[in-house]
Amino acid sequence: MRVGVYARISEDIAGLGLGVRRQTDDCTTLAKLRGWDVAEVYADNDVSAYKTKVVRPEFERMLAELDAGLIGGIVAYDLDRFARKPSDLERVISIYDKRGGVFATVQGDIDLSSPDGRTMARVMVAFANKASMDTSRRVKRKHLELAQKGVPVGGNRPFGFKADKVTIEPVEAQLIRAAADQILSGVGLHTICRAWNEKGITSTRGNPWVKAVLRNMLLSPRLAGFRVYQGGIARDTSGQPVTGMYPAILDVTKWEALCAYLTDPARSGQHVHPGGRKYLLSGIARCASCTATLQGNADRQYGLLFFYSCHNTQCRQRVAVTGPKVDEIVTKLVLAYLADRVIERSEEQWAGEEDLTAATSRIVELMEQYSEGTLSKDVVFPTVQKLEDQVARLRTEKADWVRGQVAVRPTTNAVEAWPTMEVDQQRAVIASVLHAVVVKPGKRGGRFDPDRIEPIFR
């Protein structure tokens, strides 16, 4: 009889596979005692048999080969190592119904070919499933309690913090602060990723930076000092944000502005350029004939660096113009306009802040009165529900307001900062000064005429 040996362990922190190795050795010994040949070993290391979204690849392979007749039975260390979901057991029973075969565990035999054996197996798996449910409930409750106390838990070291997850890692924290300032002044995520990767800066897993990973890291509430729970800000029983037992890397206002900018729906559409804008005036310069935006193009035919052209196939003129000369003219005009000017972000406060504070404070007050027994649940909870709805609405309004307030502009003198700016930042400055740069049709084969360029100031 050719059998398969199945071994599984839910958690292998060290990643050495010692648990499944021990199970495999014991199962192999049992198979030899029964006179069975071990045809294949199927080991799911560090894989849960209880979680509904987890697929056990080796378990699935084993069932497929059992169903195909490649093995004539299974030897497992224990039934709860083999199955913890009744649905998995029923799949196995269905195969044994069709093909027959042997089944044994090191901890005691269960005959899946007999009604009594199947009943016993179903009872044991049901109890194992309940035990997993109880454990899961306790673990979730524990994590919620830790979150509400602001206590950090296990997992990978967050970027910006040392291994204890509490102490700030100064070099990484400075990188985060600089990245936040750059993004709020118009630099793209791709640009920051490229710069970090060129300097050999990696994620805490040792991987190069990509936009999605950088974005998620910058959106983490931990950066503003909040405790994270299930991907968002942990909140106490009264709905207030929980401050973590670690210092903030960014102040709350800047982090909220950063989140508002990175989650702005306007950035997620077709006009977002994954690789970033390469040309200064792409999307800013417009065709005088049809008003379509001009796009930068590399010029390989005439040896120019690049040119801007209208891509509207319905346009009669299809304006095109030498890129470097237009960039030079527009840059000089904008910097002349901004000379000695300092552009600052608005310090205006959101008008609904007092209402949001009052609503959240009222929730805390009502919940305290309920806990003290001075107000009944019939009075407290309907009112709290209305207040929570109000808080949710106000937070949405605040996020929208912050998005609108994020001025994608430098906060220092633009003329002085211009040579050190990324193209994204320079484009943002130009867009803050000009509605558009209209390019008029030129004469074919003629010299570049500066009068073709018409800046439209805000």
Q: Write out pLDDT tens, residues 18-43.
A: 889 999 999 999 999 999 999 999 99
Mean pLDDT within 433-441: 86
Mean pLDDT within 180-209: 88
Q: How confident is the model at residue 239 (pLDDT cuts 50, 70, 90)?
A: low
Dist. CA 22–CA 99, nearest whole Å: 29
Tens digit of pLDDT for each residue in 311-354? 888 888 888 888 888 899 998 888 888 775 555 555 567 788 88
Mean pLDDT within 415-439: 79
Number of neighbours of residue 376 by Cβ within 10 angstroms: 10
Higher pLDDT, 368 or 222: 222
Q: Contact at 8 Å (CB) between 246 and 171?
A: no
CA 114, chain centre distance (Å): 50
Dist. CA 167–CA 158, nearest whole Å: 11
Mean pLDDT within 103-108: 86
pLDDT surpasses 70 at 429: yes
Q: Which CATH number fits domain 2-136: 3.30.300.30, 3.30.750.24, 3.40.50.1390, 3.20.20.450?
A: 3.40.50.1390
What's the pLDDT at 289? 84
Most confident of 109-123, 200-214, 247-261, 339-353: 200-214
pLDDT surpasses 60 at 274: no
What is the torsion angle, in degrees rounded to the nearest 10, for the CA atoms of residue 293, residue 298, residue 300 and residue 304?
80
Percent of the chain with pLDDT over 70: 84
The full 3-state SS of the chain, as one line of letters, equals CEEEEEEEECCCCCCCCHHHHHHHHHHHHHHHHCCCEEEEEEEEECCCCCCCCCCCHHHHHHHHHHHCCCCCEEEECCHHHHCCCHHHHHHHHHHHHHHCCEEEECCCCCCCCCHHHHHHHHHHHHHHHHHHHHHHHHHHHHHHHHHHHCCCCCCCCCCCECCCCCCECHHHHHHHHHHHHHHHCCCCHHHHHHHHHHCCCCCCCCCCCCHHHHHHHHHCHHHHCECEECCEECECCCCCECECCCCCCCCHHHHHHHHHHHCCHHHCCCCCCCCCCCCCCCCCEEECCCCCEEEEEECCCCCCCEEEEECCCCCCCCCEEEHHHHHHHHHHHHHHHHCCCECCCCCCCCCCHHHHHHHHHHHHHHHHHHHHCCCCHHHHHHHHHHHHHHHHHHHHHHHHHHHHHCCCCCCCEHHHHHHHCCHHHHHHHHHHHEEEEEECCCCCCCCCCHHHEEEEEC
Bridge partner residues of 226 (DSSP)? 243
Q: Which amino acid is at 374?
A: T
Structure tokens at 4: 């398969």
Tens digit of pLDDT for each residue in 145-187? 666 666 776 678 899 999 888 899 999 999 999 999 888 877 7
What's the pLDDT at 271? 44
What's the pLDDT at 265? 63
The widest CA-to-CA distance across the chain, in whole angstroms, is 96
Percent of the chain with pLDDT over 90: 21
Length of the chain equals 458
What's the pLDDT at 404? 57
Mean pLDDT within 85-103: 88
**pTM for the complete prediction?**
0.50
Q: What is the CA radius of gyration of the chain?
A: 32
- Which residue is it, tokens 């503003």? 224
What's the pLDDT at 272? 47
Dist. CA 154–CA 161, nearest whole Å: 13
Q: What number does CATH give the domain 170-267? A: 3.90.1750.20
Dist. CA 414–CA 432, nearest whole Å: 11
Q: How far is CA 361 from CA 227, 237, 238, 357, 397, in A?
A: 20, 13, 9, 6, 18
Mean pLDDT within 418-444: 80
Mean pLDDT within 185-209: 88
Dist. CA 378–CA 366, nearest whole Å: 12
Closest CA to 436 of 282, 217, 306, 297: 282
- Which residue is it, tokens 């910006």? 160
What's the pLDDT at 410? 43
Mean pLDDT within 121-130: 80
pLDDT surpasses 90 at 395: no
Q: How confident is the model at residue 208 (pLDDT cuts 50, 70, 90)?
A: very high
